[in-house]
Amino acid sequence: MKRISILGSTGSIGQNALDLVRQAPGQYRVVALTGGDNIYRLASDAREFGAEIAVTAHENRLAELRDALEGSGIAAAAGRNALNEAAARPTDWVLSAIVGAAGLEPGLAALRDGVTLALANKESLVSAGPLLMSAAARSGARILPVDSEHSAIFQALSGENTAAVERVIITASGGAFRDWPLQGLAEATVAEASRHPNWTMGQRITIDSASMFNKALEVIEAREYFGFHPDQIEVLVHPQSLVHALVGFRDGGLMAHVGPHDMRHAIGYALNWPDRLVLPVDRLDLAAAGSLEFFNPDNARYPALGLARQVMEVRGLSGAVFNAAKERALDHFIAGNLRFTDMHGVVAGTLDHLSSEPGLIDAEITLDSVHRLDHLGRIAVDDLVGRKPG
Ligand code: NAD
Ligand code: MG
């Protein structure tokens, strides 16, 4: 039986993963589940799946988690170290589905010989791609992408010579405001930005889809994971979200990955890799889908994509700054301190500010330097906004 742990099990990706486990009785043994605020969900899932340990990120919620697990024999723990320890427990497979830069350390802790780290947490690749990839290479662990576009690219590359790849095309739905008049965007509310046209996901990635900060992260993620040159990575708006990505080869062939909007495909693919097992996802009826449309993204509507190009050019620790600034700008938007359209300027300003300080962004990439730049990025955003998000 495959032994698995899920970091961020109470979230959208985590719940989809547990659904796959639920629907394949006897196939997987759940070792550790981790979450944040949602103690009820964490404890009830730990009981349902007979986990060995449940961990909340919040130390002040430990007593509540212990109470909720009383009599079950399941260990309870809390805090950052406990999360890292849970990630490092012996298993065959770990899903990194924590949202944000908080996923980096547990992801690194999970890497050891023979383990597969299924990576939904794109923020860790954007912030510290070289750190994660070299730790995997050193430890003998394997990282598999779970982001739907990157899973699509991975699948299209299967059996291919990567030297023959000319370009990859990542698709984007266009998010909540794809068809809004540009002048209306400044007044967009958090509730409006939280409605994705196609996918049901956590709130933060949904808002990032409306601004295309999510696609900006994904372009960098493709660069860090697959090692493509930035010029090889293209983005197309595809309102139907059925083609997740395409890989173009030097003979002109273009391999597209097509499927319904259901993250259980990408999660299940990583869960069972290198096998393909039956998955409970809808089979696509292309005739019912009718037409597939593709457009070039409009830079005025989605300026975040330009920032991804800038980050890929500079590299070093600019990914850590970009991700932290994006996370903090989003905190401010959610808190009502920043307009939707002002997130871009604040992130760009933070990148410019920290790039101009000698020795910061070009310092060696270590966990400490990533944490430092992440911290400085958040402070710079607060300074530009003139307050803290809380
Ligand atoms: P979510 O907000 O629904 O869930 C996040 C999970 O992380 C929860 O379990 C939460 O308790 C936990 N968490 C939050 N803050 C934490 C912290 N500081 N420390 C430890 N744990 C913490 O998010 P999601 O939509 O499931 O996304 C998870 C990750 O997967 C993100 O990196 C996202 O970009 C990526 N992703 C999500 C989707 C999707 O369909 N939802 C698709 C592709 C990639
Ligand atoms: Mg994606």
Hey, what domains does the chain have and what are their CATH numbers? 2-145 (3.40.50.720), 151-259+283-289 (no CATH), 316-387 (1.10.1740.10)
Decide: residue 136, CB within 10 A, 0-12 exposed, 13-18 middle, 19+ buried.
buried
Alpha helix segments (H runs only) across the chain: 12-22, 39-49, 62-69, 80-88, 104-110, 122-139, 148-157, 190-193, 203-211, 213-226, 263-272, 286-289, 304-314, 318-335, 343-356, 367-385
Cα(36) to ligand 1 centroid in Å equals 10
- The pLDDT profile of the chain, 390 residues, written as one tens digit per residue, is 999 999 999 999 999 999 999 999 999 999 999 999 999 999 999 999 999 999 999 999 999 999 999 999 999 999 999 999 999 999 999 999 999 999 999 999 999 999 999 999 999 999 999 999 999 999 999 999 999 999 999 999 999 999 999 999 999 999 999 999 999 999 999 999 999 888 889 999 999 999 999 999 999 999 999 999 999 999 999 999 999 999 999 999 999 999 999 999 999 999 999 999 999 999 999 999 999 999 999 999 999 999 999 999 999 999 999 999 999 999 999 999 999 999 999 999 999 999 999 999 999 999 999 999 999 999 999 999 999 998
Q: Which atom of ligand 1 is nearest to the CA of 106?
A: 20
- Counting ligand 1 atoms within 8 A of each CB, the residue from 9, 59, 99, 208 with the most, and so the one to mutate, is 99
Cα(168) to ligand 2 centroid in Å equals 14
The encoded tokens of residue 24 equal 């394949």
Q: Which atom of ligand 1 is nearest to the CA of 208?
A: 34
Q: Which atom of ligand 1 is nearest to the CA of 10?
A: 9
Cα(290) to ligand 1 centroid in Å equals 32
Ligand nearest to the CA of 87: 1
Query: Can you tell me the distance from the alpha carbon of 236 to that of 231, in angstroms, rounded to the nearest whole number?
Result: 14
Cα(383) to ligand 2 centroid in Å equals 30
Nearest CA to ligand 1 atom 42: 147
Cα(300) to ligand 1 centroid in Å equals 28
Tens of pLDDT, residues 233-287: 999 999 999 999 999 999 999 999 999 999 999 999 999 999 999 999 999 999 9
Its pTM surpasses 0.75? yes
Query: Can you tell me the distance from the alpha carbon of 76 to that of 70, in angstroms, rounded to the nearest whole number?
Result: 9
| Sheet with 254-258, side-by-side order of all strands | 233-237, 165-172, 243-249, 254-258
Between strands 2-7 and 28-35, the pairing is parallel
CB-based pocket (< 6 A), ligand 1: 8-14, 35-36, 38, 57, 83, 97-99, 102, 120-123, 147, 199, 201-202, 204-205, 263
- Counting ligand 1 atoms within 8 A of each CB, the residue from 5, 7, 10, 12 with the most, and so the one to mutate, is 12
Q: Which atom of ligand 1 is nearest to the CA of 35?
A: 11
Nearest CA to ligand 1 atom 30: 120
Nearest CA to ligand 1 atom 40: 201
Cα(367) to ligand 2 centroid in Å equals 25
Tens of pLDDT, residues 30-66: 999 999 999 999 999 999 999 999 999 999 999 999 9
